[in-house]
């Protein structure tokens, strides 16, 4: 029994498909593509590829594609080390009202994120950072 160890020949996407996936990741958010994700994750990319091309890839394979495209896993920051209270106050008083006004005008939703998750309104644990 002479079995070769290592990566098995699995399904792959074409160069053209890879280029389109990269463009979609760069230009769109998953929810804009009717995917049930708020941010791009390996699972979100996996689902995108399966829906768009009918190619079923493992999460590990998707991770390899993402790495070859220059994407790296990001760990969330636990604490805003350089929070600047004056800039936060200015953002809350000047910039946020403009964002809220635009969202209302365009019938949009504002999401607040802390690196781990996103929500329609900030929770007590989330920190606004400048």
Secondary structure element (H or E) that encloses residue 118, with its range = strand 118-119
Q: Is residue 4 part of a domain?
A: no
pTM of the model: 0.56
Number of domains in the chain: 2
Q: Between 60 and 80, whose confidence is greater?
A: 60
Q: Which domain holds residue 91?
A: 76-130
Q: What secondary structure letter does DSSP report for 76? A: P
Question: Tens digits of per-residue pLDDT, 73-129?
Answer: 877 666 666 677 888 888 889 888 999 899 899 988 887 765 544 444 454 443 333
89 and 41 within one domain: no
Q: Is the dihedral of CA 129, 81, 126, 46 positive or negative?
A: positive
130 and 98 within one domain: yes
105 and 63 within one domain: no
Structure tokens at 25: 């990741």
92 and 64 within one domain: no
- What does the CA dihedral 20, 57, 44, 63 come to, rounded to 10 degrees? -90
Arithmetic mean of pLDDT, 34-53: 93
């Amino acid at each position: 029994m002479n079995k070769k160890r290592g990566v098995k020949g699995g399904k792959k996407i074409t160069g053209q498909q890879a280029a389109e996936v990269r463009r979609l990741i760069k230009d769109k958010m998953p929810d804009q593509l009717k995917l049930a994700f708020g941010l791009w994750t390996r699972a979100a990319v996996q689902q995108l590829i399966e829906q768009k091309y009918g190619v079923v890839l493992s999460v590990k394979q998707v991770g390899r594609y993402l790495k070859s495209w220059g994407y790296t896993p990001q760990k969330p920051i636990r604490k805003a080390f350089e929070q600047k209270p004056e800039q936060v106050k200015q953002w809350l008083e000047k910039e946020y009202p403009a964002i809220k006004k635009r969202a209302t005008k365009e019938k949009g939703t504002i999401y607040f994120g802390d690196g781990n998750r996103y929500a329609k309104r900030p929770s007590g644990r989330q920190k606004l950072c400048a």
